[in-house]
Amino acid sequence: MKPIPATSAALRVTAPARLHLGFLDLNGEIGRRYGSIGIAIDRPSTDLTITPSTENSATGPESRRVLKLLRKYTDDGKSGAYAVDIANAIPAHAGLGSGTQLALAVGAAIARLQGRNLSPADLASLGERGARSGIGLEAFASGGFIIDGGKGKTDRPPPLTLRTDFPKDWRVMLILDPNFSGVSGEAETTAFAGLPPFPERQAAHICHLVLMKLVPGLKELDIEAFGSAITEIQEIVGGHFASKQGGSPWTSRAVGEIASRMRDMGATGIGQSSWGPTGFAFVDSQKAAERLYHSLGEDAKRDGLEILIIHGRNTGASIETLRNS
């Protein structure tokens, strides 16, 4: 790959949120553990502008986290300093991959400004992202529907196993609850360590569902096959994590209730992204999505929730040059 010329231009970066739809193998006896299923989505996104500066600074939502990232990425004393303006940020601790996308957005922009070529795996190592899941890294790199191969015996990010476009006509019903936060950081590490053993037969069944139902359903635009596989995987994995979520597969019971009502009204593939609280459901058209939104939107608001109609995003993050100084 040819080196990218260094530039003093301001850059605008848009990084997509992702949904984590479940794990393949929490047992790990075969030699690899985790293995994640996910998709990049068009909203919400992290949108920021970065400019070379005389000192590191950040304004807007998540500015403290960005300042920490700037210090980390420039602590060699040779990388200069940068001013970052964050216009929008993916909600933190909502199950949407906010930390990974923020770290990659800032790191990729600095690399571009310095004329360096860094792979998402390089950036992940620098930002300490992607410990268990490679979904956020691949969402940033290329978008789409993604399956990774889990963690082996090395510290490398999980390898990409499958990447394919998400059907353009399908919609995701996103259910947000700003009143709850998902487990993260040290609490997440502790939660994983405290989980009971995951039965090997359930890991095998999930892999069977993915290979022979979920992926073929996606490829053949059979949303019922795709969705029923997602729902079953979510029930298995959610049940396993319930002991760390107050005895429920849902961090927010209100989100779970709305998702169940969506299923009763024809949606499929319901579940919770990562540790939540964000929930999701899939439908096969904009018309079906709008029907659910108009039927349940007011009830969701009364419960303090927000419903969004979301598209899959089949491209990765965008980095745009705004001006030359």
Residue pLDDT, tens place only, 260-304: 999 999 999 999 999 999 999 999 999 999 999 999 999 999 999
Please report, rounded to a whole number, the percentage of residues in the chain having pLDDT higher than 70: 93
Do 88 and 198 fall into the same domain? no
Do 158 and 54 fall into the same domain? yes
Do 34 and 139 fall into the same domain? yes
Residue 325 has pLDDT above 70, yes or no: no
Q: Give a yes or no: residue 99 inside a domain.
A: yes
Do 120 and 184 fall into the same domain? no
* The total number of structural domains that make up the chain: 2
Q: Give a yes or no: residue 5 inside a domain.
A: no
Q: Give a yes or no: residue 72 inside a domain.
A: yes
Determine the average pLDDT of the residues in 186-193. Answer: 80
Q: Which domain holds residue 62?
A: 10-166+314-323
Do 112 and 189 fall into the same domain? no
Do 84 and 161 fall into the same domain? yes
Question: Where is mean pLDDT largest: 154-163, 199-208, 244-253?
Answer: 199-208
Residue 242's pLDDT is 85
Please report, rounded to a whole number, the percentage of residues in the chain having pLDDT higher than 90: 76
Q: What is the CATH number of the domain that holds 212?
A: 3.30.70.890
Place of tokens 């997440």: 188
Do 147 and 186 fall into the same domain? no
Residue pLDDT, tens place only, 46-104: 999 999 999 999 999 999 999 999 998 888 777 789 999 999 999 999 999 999 999 99
Residue pLDDT, tens place only, 115-126: 887 766 676 676
Residue pLDDT, tens place only, 4-30: 555 678 999 999 999 999 999 999 999
Q: Give a yes or no: residue 70 inside a domain.
A: yes
Which two structure tokens, joined as six digits, stand for 234? 């979510």
Do 142 and 209 fall into the same domain? no
Do 154 and 15 fall into the same domain? yes
Contact 45, 31 (CB under 8 A): no
Do 150 and 203 fall into the same domain? no
| Residue-wise DSSP of 223-265 | HHHHHHHHHHHHHHHHHHHGGGTTTSS-SSHHHHHHHHHHHHT
Do 231 and 140 fall into the same domain? no
127: pLDDT confidence band, cut at 50, 70 and 90? low
Residue 1 has pLDDT above 70, yes or no: no
- Provide CB contacts within 8 A for 119, sequence distance 6+: none
- Provide CB contacts within 8 A for 75, sequence distance 6+: none
Residue 22's pLDDT is 97
Q: Give a yes or no: residue 3 inside a domain.
A: no
Do 98 and 37 fall into the same domain? yes
3-state secondary structure of 188: helix
HEC readout, 19-30: EEEEEEECCCCC
